[in-house]
A and B are shown apart, each in its own frame.
Chain A
Amino acid sequence: MQEIRRPPRLFKNLNAKVAAIPMILTALVVFVGGTVWTVVYSFTNSRLLPRENFVGLQQYERLWATPRWHVAVENIFIYGACTLVFSLVVGFLLAALMDQKIRFENTFRTIFLYPFALSFIVTGLVWQWILNPQFGIEGIVRSWGWESFSFDPLYNANIVIYGILIAGLWQGTGLVMCLMLAGLRGIDEDIWKAARVDGIPTWKTYLFVVIPMMRPVFVTTLVIIAAGIVKVYDLVVAQTGGGPGIASEVPAKYVYDAMFLSQNLGQGFAASTMMLLSVLVVLIPWAYLEFGGRRKHG
């Protein structure tokens, strides 16, 4: 009786469910399904085509025995650490300067943020040109008379990753500045007044009052920068193509090359699973702090 009178629960709110079908498919099939599929197939010896021939951890052993992967991991650590430090420090300093009730704030912000609208390909190609040893910075300084001046990061395997870092910072620091500025604007004006009444110098107010208050902004910015670092691919392809030699390889490029150029799918899957792991290492503590630790700052 009850069953007949009540419409089945599946059809309640049917329109909303229909509207959510793309989201459900994306979440389940692409995000969950795709991730699980890749992780599972990273345990196979697939080469040109995916095959269900499971070989345990062999792909991972091979991966960690490959010099190219070591270079890629080392590069992403250097690039990542420098990007985090520099973009946070420079971004915050710029935001603090912009927050001094200056004139032309909009003009400055427009200038600092425009590189963010450009693609990594464009960014990489421009900096490839500026860092060109013959015509770029090195050539100019030498033509001024300093013949022994040397600044050719893109052609020097030891420092090539810093050449990429310069371009990456140019592109991304504006975003950090914007986020920090939004955070600074969220600080109550009374805090500043109170600090001034107490005679605390400005830099101390920033360091011991404002920055701790901006903790959530810093954490979110950190997560955004970190998520971007793992994905670094286009920039390297455009600026150096991984060269000289393999000196500027990054994990994302290793994955692409293994999957689509050298027909070594299993390696690609294993490498991308390692990338996923590194993201989880950042993401899970953050999610715990943000959503699990509500009592702390709720």
Chain B
Amino acid sequence: MKVLRLASPLLAVLLVLAVWQLAVSVLHVQPYVLPSPHRTWQALMDDWDNVRSLAGQTVYESVVGFLLGTGVGFLLAVAMAHVPIVHRVLYPILIASQAVPIVAIAAPLVIILGYGLAPKLVIVGLIVFFPVVVNVLDGLSGIDAGMVNLARSMGAGATKIFLLVRLPATLTPLFSALKLAAAYAVTGAVIGEWTASITPGLGKDLLLKNSRLDTAGVYADVLLLTAVGLTGFLLMTILERLSTPWRTRGTARRWFRPSAPRDTKGSR
């Protein structure tokens, strides 16, 4: 069972590769239109040193932008949940910010922030912060009022109630958002590089190869970008499992049992 569960994503990847290969060889597609998986892999290997260092740049932009965007998003959500006026003022602005096409504001961002790292971080941040705000806000407002009342009846102060009751309740929705954001962040970095960059990066490299009709190279870059996005998603999934153990486990992990006099019986 477990083997099957772990193997199934691998099977899915193999299936995609098989369809891809089949399409290329059965339909006799020209390599400059659609290179075969093998050619793509070859292109990736041939250009590995170059592509790897470019990927490092793109990963850097994605990660820093991700941290900034999600961090700001989280703080905004907390502020909005606790101060009604902040909520009323900010919410329409946040919605409007999502209606603005990111590509369209990339150009003015360059004018304001220059061609360096800053506009890319802003673009990544703009893309990732919204799901965080919405989800964390939902988490904070969805808390059982009874739980807060219980805490109040025990004489707890607002800070303790926030730390012990409200904040942990945001973890589940927060991670839903972080998983999305991890995948979006790479997209954001690529858009940033396309519109606002003279510095190298995978997105920039992709454009360059495209203009040279190096289609296999383009696909190689896409493959790498996908891998980066997937890695981010997986990292978030692992982090989620570790920080919200009550969602997937019946009992607390052994190392998270303060004062437990050794384990009695194993369970689940």
Q: Do A and B come from one complex?
A: no
Contact surface of A with B, Cβ cutoff 8 Å: none
Contact surface of B with A, Cβ cutoff 8 Å: none
